[in-house]
C-alpha cells in the first residue's frame, strides 16, 4: 500500500481519498480489476484515475491464488450486471433504436366544407370522414394538402364537385388555419403538442364567380317628390351583380330578437360583459391603500398572476403601469388601463388554459399549482369590483360552480356551445332521432371525450349528461 499511497500523494490526491482506499484495503491489485465508475467513488478526478490505472498496470502480476479468487468475484459481479442490463436496459435500447429508425408518423385527415354560411365536416357517407394516413416526419403544409386532395378528390373529383371549383386551406385539430409560417413539420408538431394522434382538416369553399359572369343589371328607380313620375326627376342606378344580394341589402327590418345559444353557426362573441349596475369602488382614503403593479405587454399572463399572488391586493386600489413592446410605458392611466390589461390577460388565458369553442372551460395545467389558481380567482373578483369586468367566454356552469358551489344552468345547452359545430350536429341528431345518426360519427365524437360505454337509444339519456358534467 505504501507505493500506491506515495504515488497518489505525489500526484496531489487528497489525503482523505488515500485514507479511504487504505481503509477499504484497495491496493494496486484491486485497482487493476476495478472499472472507472467504481474507482470514481474514491478518486473524483478523472486524470488521477487514468494515472493510477497506468501505475497499477506497470506493477508485477499478483499471485495465482489471489488472482483466482479475484477473478471468481469479478465473474460473479459481471454475471449480475449482465442480468440487470438484460431485464432493464435491453427493452429501452430496442425502443430507442426503433424511434431513431422511424421516419413516418400516423396522422388523421378530415374534410370541412363551407357552403358560405356554415362550415361543416363532410361525413363518411358523403365522401368525407376521417382517414388515417402515414406521412414523413418532415412533411409540411403542401404534403398534407396534397394527401387530403388524394383522399377526398380522387382524380380531381368529389361528391361536391370538381377540384378546380374550390379554394383549399389546411386547418389544424383546433380548426385554425395553417400557413407556411405556422405549419411546422409533422415530427415537430408531434413533439410540440404531445398528442398521441395529430388531426388535420382540408377546408374547402366554393370559388367566387368573376365579376363579369352570371350578372344582371338591376335598375333602382326613385322619385324625389310627388305621386307622378317624371322622367326628369328619376334617379337611375345600374347595379351589376346578384339580385338576391341587392334584395338582402334592402331588407333592413328586424322582426324579433332571440336570446340563447345559436347552434347553426359558431360566432366569436364579445369577450367581456360590462356590468351597468350602481356599484362604484370606493376611493382609497390614504395613499398607502394604493398599490402600483407593472405589467409587460408581452408577458401579461405571468405578470398579472404574479401581482395577484398577494391576497392583500384585494384590499387596495390598483394603479397599473404597462410596458409596451417597444419598452416604453403606456401613457394612459386609471380604470381604462386596468380593463385593457384584464382583456389581454383573459385572451391569453383562453388560448393557453382553456378548452372549448364558443364557451371555454379551464383545464388543469401541470405547471399551475393551487396558489396560481387562487391568484386567478382574485383577478376575476378584482376585475368585477374595480371596473365591472367579467370574462363572459367562461362557461356559465363553470362560473356557477366556482361562485355558488352548485350548477343552475342547463348543462346540455352549454355543452353544445363547448363542442365544435360538427360534433354538435352529431350529438343533436343523436338526442332527437337516435336511429338516424351515423354510428361511426357518434362513436368518434364520444371517444374524443373519453366515453367507454356503448351508447344505445336507451342509455343515451344517462350517457350524454355524464359527458357534459365531466367536461365542465
pLDDT tens track for 297-341: 889 999 999 999 999 899 888 889 889 888 888 887 777 888 889
**pLDDT over 60 at 70, yes or no:** yes
pLDDT at res. 364? 83
What would be the CATH architecture of the domain defined by 102-206?
Answer: Roll (3.10)
- Contact indicator for 346, 336 with CB cutoff of 8 Å: no
pLDDT tens track for 356-371: 888 899 988 788 899 9
pLDDT at res. 244? 39
pLDDT at res. 344? 92
Q: Which residues, at least 6 apart from 324, have a Cβ–Cβ distance to it below 8 Å? A: 297, 330
pLDDT at res. 267? 40
Closest to 379 measured CA to CA, from 394, 359, 363, 360: 394
Measure the N-to-C terminal CA separation of the chain; round to a whole number of Å.
Answer: 73
Choice between 415 and 272, residue whose per-residue pLDDT is larger? 415
Model pTM score: 0.41
What would be the CATH architecture of the domain defined by 275-394?
Answer: Alpha-Beta Complex (3.90)
pLDDT at res. 118? 77
CA dist., res. 86 & res. 81, Å (int):
9
Choice between 221 and 445, residue whose per-residue pLDDT is larger? 445
Kindly report the CA angle at 237 between 236 and 239, in degrees rounded to 5?
145
Q: Rounded to an integer, what is the distance from CA 428 to the centroid of its chain? A: 27
CA dihedral angle for residue 325, residue 328, residue 331, residue 335, rounded to 10 degrees: 50
Local confidence band at 390 (pLDDT 50, 70, 90 cut-offs):
confident
Local confidence band at 279 (pLDDT 50, 70, 90 cut-offs):
very low
In this prediction, residues 259-283 reach a mean pLDDT of 42
Per domain, the residue ranges of the chain are 2-98, 102-206, 213-224+231-246, 275-394, 411-471
CA dist., res. 379 & res. 381, Å (int):
6
In this prediction, residues 392-418 reach a mean pLDDT of 86
pLDDT at res. 461? 65
For the chain, what percent of residues have pLDDT higher than 90?
Answer: 12
Q: Which residues, at least 6 apart from 236, have a Cβ–Cβ distance to it below 8 Å? A: 219, 220, 221
**74-88, 102-116, 298-312, 414-428 — which one is most confidently predicted on average?**
298-312
pLDDT tens track for 107-121: 999 999 887 767 888
Choice between 374 and 182, residue whose per-residue pLDDT is larger? 374
In this prediction, residues 409-420 reach a mean pLDDT of 83
pLDDT tens track for 212-233: 444 334 434 443 444 444 444 4
Choice between 421 and 377, residue whose per-residue pLDDT is larger? 377
Q: How far is CA 77 from CA 80, 91, 135, 431, in A?
A: 5, 22, 47, 67
pLDDT at res. 262? 39
What mean pLDDT is reported for the chain? Answer: 75
- Contact indicator for 394, 360 with CB cutoff of 8 Å: yes
Q: How far is CA 305 from CA 290, 322, 379, in A?
A: 18, 15, 8
pLDDT tens track for 10-67: 878 888 888 888 888 888 788 877 888 888 888 888 888 888 888 887 765 555 445 5
Local confidence band at 204 (pLDDT 50, 70, 90 cut-offs):
very high
| Cell numbers describing residue 34 | 476495478
In this prediction, residues 252-266 reach a mean pLDDT of 36
In this prediction, residues 456-464 reach a mean pLDDT of 69
In this prediction, residues 98-127 reach a mean pLDDT of 79
> In DSSP terms, which residues pair with 136 in a beta bridge?
104
pLDDT at res. 309? 93
Amino acid at each position: 500500500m505504501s507505493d500506491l499511497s506515495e504515488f497518489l500523494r505525489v500526484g496531489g490526491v487528497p489525503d482523505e481519498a488515500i485514507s479511504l482506499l487504505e481503509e477499504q484495503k484497495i491496493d494496486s491489485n484491486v485497482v487493476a480489476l476495478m472499472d472507472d465508475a467504481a474507482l470514481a467513488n474514491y478518486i473524483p478526478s478523472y486524470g488521477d484515475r487514468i494515472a493510477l490505472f497506468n501505475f497499477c498496470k506497470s506493477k508485477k502480476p499478483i499471485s495465482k491464488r489471489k488472482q483466482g479468487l479475484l477473478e471468481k468475484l469479478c465473474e460473479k459481479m459481471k454475471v449480475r450486471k449482465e442480468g440487470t442490463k438484460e431485464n432493464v436496459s435491453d427493452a429501452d435500447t430496442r425502443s430507442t433504436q426503433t424511434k431513431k429508425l422511424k421516419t413516418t408518423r400516423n396522422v388523421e385527415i378530415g374534410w370541412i366544407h363551407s357552403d358560405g354560411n356554415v362550415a361543416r365536416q363532410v361525413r363518411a357517407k358523403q365522401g368525407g370522414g376521417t382517414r388515417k394516413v402515414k406521412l414523413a416526419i418532415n412533411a409540411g403544409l403542401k404534403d398534407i394538402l396534397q394527401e387530403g386532395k388524394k383522399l377526398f378528390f380522387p382524380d380531381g373529383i368529389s361528391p361536391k364537385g370538381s377540384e378546380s371549383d374550390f379554394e383549399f386551406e389546411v386547418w389544424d385539430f383546433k380548426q385554425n388555419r395553417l400557413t407556411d409560417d405556422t405549419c411546422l413539420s409533422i415530427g415537430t408538431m408531434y413533439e410540440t403538442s404531445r398528442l398521441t394522434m395529430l388531426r388535420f382538416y382540408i377546408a374547402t369553399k366554393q370559388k367566387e364567380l368573376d365579376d363579369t359572369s352570371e350578372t344582371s343589371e338591376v335598375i333602382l328607380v326613385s322619385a324625389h317628390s310627388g305621386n307622378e313620375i317624371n322622367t326628369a326627376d328619376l334617379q337611375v342606378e345600374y347595379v351589376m351583380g346578384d339580385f338576391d344580394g341587392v334584395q338582402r341589402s334592402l331588407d333592413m327590418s328586424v322582426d324579433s330578437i332571440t336570446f340563447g345559444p345559436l347552434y347553426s353557426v359558431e360566432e366569436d362573441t364579445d369577450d367581456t360583459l360590462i356590468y351597468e349596475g350602481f356599484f362604484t369602488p370606493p376611493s382609497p382614503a390614504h395613499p398607502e391603500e394604493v398599490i402600483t403593479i407593472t405589467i409587460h405587454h408581452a408577458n401579461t399572463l405571468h405578470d398579472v398572476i404574479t401581482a395577484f399572488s398577494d391576497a392583500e391586493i384585494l384590499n387596495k386600489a390598483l394603479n397599473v403601469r404597462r410596458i409596451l413592446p417597444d419598452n416604453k410605458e403606456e401613457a394612459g392611466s386609471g380604470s381604462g388601463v386596468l380593463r385593457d390589461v384584464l382583456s389581454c390577460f383573459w385572451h391569453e388565458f383562453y388560448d393557453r388554459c382553456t378548452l372549448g369553442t364558443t364557451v371555454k372551460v379551464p383545464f388543469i395545467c401541470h405547471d399551475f399549482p393551487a396558489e396560481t389558481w387562487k391568484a386567478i380567482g382574485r383577478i376575476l373578483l378584482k376585475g368585477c369590483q374595480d371596473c365591472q369586468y367579467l370574462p363572459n367566454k367562461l362557461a356559465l356552469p363553470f362560473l356557477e360552480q366556482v361562485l355558488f358551489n352548485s350548477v343552475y344552468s342547463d348543462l346540455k345547452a352549454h355543452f353544445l356551445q363547448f363542442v365544435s359545430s360538427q360534433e354538435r350536429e352529431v350529438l343533436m341528431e343523436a338526442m332527437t332521432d337516435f336511429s338516424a345518426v351515423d354510428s361511426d360519427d357518434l362513436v368518434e365524437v364520444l371517444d374524443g371525450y373519453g366515453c367507454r360505454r356503448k351508447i344505445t337509444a336507451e342509455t343515451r339519456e344517462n350517457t350524454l349528461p355524464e359527458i357534459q358534467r365531466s367536461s365542465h
